[in-house]
Amino acid sequence: MTKLYSIIQIDTKPEYREAFLRAARELIDRLQDELGRLEHAIHASPTTPCQLIVTIRWHDKEAMAAHFASRHLQDYLKETAPYVAQPSVYRTFTIETEHTLL
């Protein structure tokens, strides 16, 4: 089974890091029951605290496209734009098979 992931690197301005995280957590809470979004997490770099990685696992491409076209996401992006230091890097990956490295 193919798994679909979005990985987004966000660099926040230091003075807005906590405000960005608060807004991101509120969005995730509001979207808890969104169809097609299977997992959602925010990861902070231990060495560069303002660098955040958002990972999202999707049911399919249609669910991903619907989310990124949604009004709630557009409103969130507009709200958090002042908190971001530079344009975010967004990538989508598929995982065809999984292997344990250990």
Tell me the per-residue pLDDT of 6-57, one tens digit each, with 9 for 90 and over.
999 999 999 999 999 999 999 888 877 676 778 889 999 999 999 999 999 8
**According to the model, what pLDDT value does residue 90 have?**
93
Helix then strand then coil, % of the chain, to nearest 5: 40, 35, 30
Domain boundaries 3-95, CATH class? alpha beta
- The kind and range of the H/E element at 66 are helix 61-69
Q: Which two tokens stand for residue 87?
A: 């344009």
pLDDT tier, 1 (very low <50, low <70, confident <90, very high otherwise): low
Q: What is the mean pLDDT of residues 73-82?
A: 94
Query: What proportion of the chain, given as a percentage, has pLDDT over 90?
Result: 55
* Residue 97 DSSP symbol: -
